[in-house]
Structure 1
Amino acid sequence: MSPVPCSECNMFSYSSPVISGTFTCEKCQLVARLTEKIVVLEGRIRTLQNIQENESYIDSVLVAPDMSTTAIQSPPTPAAELSQQGKWLMTRQHSRKSKSNSHRHHSPIRISNRFSSLSETPTETPVESALVIADSIPRNIRVVTLATIVNCLPGARATNIAANLKVLAKSKSKYSQIIIHVGTNDVRLRQSEITKANFKEVCNLAKKMCVSVTCSGPIPARRGDEMYSRLSSLHCWLSEWCPINGMGYIDNWRTFWGRPGLLKSDGIHPSRAGANLLSKSIAHSLEANH
């Protein structure tokens, strides 16, 4: 029995023969399962944080002083005029409590449950905002839209994005549109057909949660010829598959190709200029599908 290298950690093993494809050791499989569970937990935390931010913004807009309770009163007749008319004046001493209450403005109190979107029977209609869910590539993007949630999951693959969408779907979350950016970590598996099947699953889940779904295509990362070739193949397939299946596609390959200044020194993540360019592409797609 010849030693078999693991496709993830490159450690050799004699225990499991390779029938076809690549081999992944039990340790790497366990790490992958734990990573998926961590991603799901991080997604729940980010969902709660986004709900809290949306609650704070809505409260700042809706909770305003209610001026309808302030009565418009006519000015009292001056005491000097009454004394000139020969009438007695009776004064009433007002307490501090009544005086303070007369100048107090009552504001409507808005009571809500910030965790209602995660319950089985939500008490309020969820706000339909746009969702950008991705790996760490677009982590520095800035989408100037009030109703846009950017959820970046470092190290995520298509299966991790699918797991996160299942959690959001179970919590009755609804979105006006969803943009998915993933693929850099998937090509490291060296399993093109499995990667395509995972992408199809992610897109089908997203279609059930909103009407408009868009894939943000991979960028031409410089981490060796093999990764570059696999990302190029994934880009070509997505650019044809997405329009056929009624989905939008953001062509980042054409935007980043031949411009090394748009990438950091690691050759994978966008630089500040690249992040700004990616932000504009995503914002343009959101406005076009709005």
Structure 2
Amino acid sequence: MSSSPLNVTCTSCNMYSIAFSVSTGFACDKCREIVRLMEKISELETRIQTLIEVNCKSARALDTTLDAISLENTEHCSVPAVVEPVQQGNWVTVRRCSREKKRHSSVPITTSNRFSPLSETPTENRVECALAIGDSITRNLKIETPATIVTCLPGARAPDIKANLKVLANANRKFSKIIIHVGTNDVRLRQSEITKINVKEVCELACTMSGTLIYSGPLPVRRSDEIVSRLSSLNGWLSKWCPQNNIEFIDNWKSFWGRPDLLKRDGIHPSWDGAALLSSNMAHSLRLQT
């Protein structure tokens, strides 16, 4: 006949458990597992402490060895770099220090700028060659005689030309002559009086940067009748206003009128022949103003 289970209490955690026999100092499974883990942890701590002591001894031994090697190398380096050669037939054996310290010169090096006397003299505003600035009509211009800088600003209106010239003016740039070609994009705004004011302002700024100002008149584009009419009106006003203000005027309208071959298919920009003719008109005006 089997014995019946009994309720017993763990001596460690005082928790009840079911057992078929009672023994003195009963411990439950949980407490026994905890004791086993604690013994394992203690064993690992002992092993870690042993490894630490071994590593410390190895490190001290390594330091001692390195100190001995360093002392030996120092003694060797104190010997002159070249010892008396030992003659062996046709060969000469030369002993050199394994670690030869480089000696840096303590003498200071004096530097000076031999161009410094020139920098103390005041710089004068040098007058550069001629400048031709305008919208996309000036894209393919080539004015070689006299030498001219061509600045093309696609889509530019008179205020854009003024802003670009203002940047050059702030940099104290001066030019022998300035040619301005702008107006085709301005007339599209349908504000004739404002366009005239903008043209006057850009010309006033250009006059402060050069003693000779030339205005290149618009081309007779092949667009709507309204655009052609506004450009024709602007060209007529420029032909009168420019001479009244000591500004040379290039009447491109007469040169391009009735010559569709001088414009591209878009009817606005000059073709290669048109660009050559426009370049010739500007070069001719530049030579007349010399």
Structure 1 length as normaliser, TM-score?
Answer: 0.57
Amino acid at match of 2:231: L
Query: Which SS does the other structure have where 1:249 is aligned?
Result: strand
Partner in structure 1 of residue 174 of structure 2: 174
Query: Which SS does the other structure have where 1:220 is aligned?
Result: coil
1:250 to partner: Cα distance? 0.3
The verdict on how the C-alpha distance between 1:201 and 1:125 changes in structure 2, with shifts beyond 3 A counting, is: closer
Partner in structure 2 of residue 219 of structure 1: 219
1:124 to partner: Cα distance? 5.9
Query: Which SS does the other structure have where 2:205 is aligned?
Result: helix
Query: Which SS does the other structure have where 1:150 is aligned?
Result: strand
Amino acid at match of 2:187: V
With a CA cutoff of 8 Å and minimum separation of 6, indicate the structure with the bigger relative contact order: 1
Amino acid at match of 2:223: R
1:126 to partner: Cα distance? 2.6
Partner in structure 2 of residue 44 of structure 1: none
Amino acid at match of 1:249: F
| Unaligned ranges ≥5, structure 2 | 1-114
Native 8 Å contact 2:127 2:176 kept in 1:
no
Partner in structure 1 of residue 228 of structure 2: 228
Partner in structure 1 of residue 131 of structure 2: 131
* Residue-pair matches, total: 174
Amino acid at match of 2:263: L
Bigger Rg, structure 1 or 2: 2
Query: Which SS does the other structure have where 2:274 is aligned?
Result: helix
Instruction: Measure, in 1, the Cα distance between the counterparts of 2:166 and 2:281.
Output: 26
- Further displaced range: 146-155 or 226-235: 146-155
Query: Which SS does the other structure have where 2:137 is aligned?
Result: coil
Deviations 1:52-74 (A, max 9, x none): xxxxxxxxxxxxxxxxxxxxxxx
1:129 to partner: Cα distance? 1.0
Native 8 Å contact 2:157 2:183 kept in 1:
yes
Instruction: Measure, in 2, the Cα distance between the counterparts of 1:252 and 1:146.
Output: 20
Instruction: Measure, in 1, the Cα distance between the counterparts of 2:206 and 2:165.
Output: 7
Partner in structure 1 of residue 199 of structure 2: 199
| Unaligned ranges ≥5, structure 1 | 1-110
1:147 to partner: Cα distance? 3.4
Query: Which SS does the other structure have where 1:140 is aligned?
Result: coil
The verdict on how the C-alpha distance between 1:122 and 1:186 changes in structure 2, with shifts beyond 3 A counting, is: farther
1:125 to partner: Cα distance? 4.3
1:223 to partner: Cα distance? 1.3
Residue identity (%): 65
Amino acid at match of 1:157: R
Amino acid at match of 1:233: S
Structure 2 length as normaliser, TM-score?
Answer: 0.57
Instruction: Measure, in 2, the Cα distance between the counterparts of 1:140 and 1:191.
Output: 29
Q: CA RMSD in A?
A: 2.2
Q: What is the 5 A alignment of 1:1-290?
A: 123=123, 125-145=125-145, 147-290=147-290
Show structure 1 runs of 4+ deviating over 6 A. Answer: none
Instruction: Measure, in 1, the Cα distance between the counterparts of 2:232 and 2:122.
Output: 43
Deviations 1:185-213 (A, max 9, x none): 00010000000000000000011111110
Deviations 1:212-232 (A, max 9, x none): 101000000111111000000
1:123 to partner: Cα distance? 4.5
Native 8 Å contact 2:143 2:283 kept in 1:
yes
Deviations 1:11-63 (A, max 9, x none): xxxxxxxxxxxxxxxxxxxxxxxxxxxxxxxxxxxxxxxxxxxxxxxxxxxxx
Instruction: Measure, in 2, the Cα distance between the counterparts of 1:122 and 1:163.
Output: 28
